[in-house]
Amino acid sequence: MNRTFSGHIHIFHAFDIGDDVNFEQIKKEHLLIRKPLQLPRYFKNYHKPFSAELPHPHARSYEGHIRLYPFGALSLQYKMPFESTLEDLRPLLQKLVAEFSEQSISDAATIFNDIEPAIKQPNFFHIKKSYILLHVNPQQNLTVSELKDTVGAQIASLLRFDDETLSEFKRNEILKKAFGYYRGDLIAIDSNVSFIYDNDYEDIVDLFEFANIQHLELQYFDKLLDKQLSTAYNREIIPISPKELIPFWSTINMSQTQKLSMLQVEISVITERLENSIRLSEEPYYSELYEALSSELDLNNWKESIHKKLAITKDVSDLYENRSEVIRGDMFNTLISILIFLELMLALISHMS
């Protein structure tokens, strides 16, 4: 017997749109229609995102919101109800994902154009990250154990976003990672989709959206550092600008080395801000959930990659700064030698005359 389930599909899309977003300008000039924001208790009160309504609010069968982050990230959430068997949910989910992938780009472009005056170094967009959260309302006559036995294969296929039913081994491997904090609930997390069987789930939706933003920013910074390191390595071919060798020039105009150092600081500050935006030490349920989500999204490895590249950029920055200092020192010594030689020549000429 195919059971019919009800619940909601949450689709998150995150975009990088620039270096910095001025919330005060958006408020003052009414660039977006602001939406009240009530974050769960595990989010810290500072560094709150700016919440607004989605574009095109009329004649639609979904809910959603916009969240802007001060470091130049944009998050869109779409929420749609469903009532169907899990088998029928697979083609519906694939259709919705394709539809809202295009919709998110259209909505994000509209938002970007509206708020572009409030963005520092606006750019739409280098990287986009998406995540899906499937919420299913529990049924009184269906325990978690029975849920796994009867529709475990469909749950596994939904998590892997697969058209075909997975093998028993793969299904067991996926469901083995599932957990529940309270009796009667189940959370199964994978790299692209998560499945939640729980009535009281609203407080954790923001955690999934936040993790998607973290994923976006970490990959964006990793890519940016790759680009900067490539540029730094190529400076062996491209000679140091003569202007960089002029005394006090760096106090007026930043050299490439100083720009690299500024980038290190900016990335360190934002990654630290992301890590410290939530407080989970006294929330064992949310801590376990976030740890599982971080593991599936590979957030810790992305963080480690960034920290390693930041250390390399610092070494490269120091190397080129030392190189510039040596060249400046050689220039000064040469100039002093020339001046001494000229002074001696003038003294000789004066003595001979």
Write out pLDDT tens, residues 260-286: 667 777 787 777 777 777 777 677 888
Q: Which of 39-43, 92-96, 157-161 has the lowest mean pLDDT?
A: 39-43
Residues 91 and 163 reside in one and the same domain: yes
Residues 51 and 32 reside in one and the same domain: yes
Answer yes or no: is pLDDT of 243 > 60.
Answer: no
Residues 227 and 325 reside in one and the same domain: yes
105-134 b/e (C-beta count within 10 Å ≥ 16 → b): bebbeebbeebeebbeebebbebebbbbbb
Query: What is d(CA 56, CA 43) in angstroms, rounded to the nearest whole number?
Result: 29
Answer yes or no: is pLDDT of 72 > 60.
Answer: yes
Residues 154 and 239 reside in one and the same domain: no
Residues 76 and 22 reside in one and the same domain: yes
Q: What is the pLDDT of residue 21?
A: 93
Residues 195 and 235 reside in one and the same domain: no
Last residue of a domain, one of 203, 238, 266: 203
Q: Which of 31-45, 115-129, 237-251, 335-349 has the lowest mean pLDDT?
A: 237-251
Residues 178 and 115 reside in one and the same domain: yes
Instruction: Count up the domains in the chain and report the number.
Output: 2
Q: Find the mean pLDDT for residues 82-94.
A: 91
Q: Which of 132-136, 205-209, 243-247, 308-312 has the lowest mean pLDDT?
A: 243-247
Residues 241 and 169 reside in one and the same domain: no
Length, in residues, of the chain: 353
Query: How far, in whole angstroms, is CA 48 from its chain's centroid?
Result: 15
Q: What is the pLDDT of residue 268?
A: 78
Domain that holds residue 221: 208-352
Residues 216 and 177 reside in one and the same domain: no
Last residue of a domain, one of 203, 219, 244: 203
- pLDDT: which is higher, 317 or 63: 63
**Its pTM surpasses 0.85:** no
Answer yes or no: is pLDDT of 237 > 50.
Answer: no
Residues 74 and 53 reside in one and the same domain: yes
CB neighbours of residue 342 within 10 Å: 10
The letter for the amino acid at 94 is Q
Residues 198 and 214 reside in one and the same domain: no
Last residue of a domain, one of 167, 187, 203: 203
Residues 235 and 294 reside in one and the same domain: yes
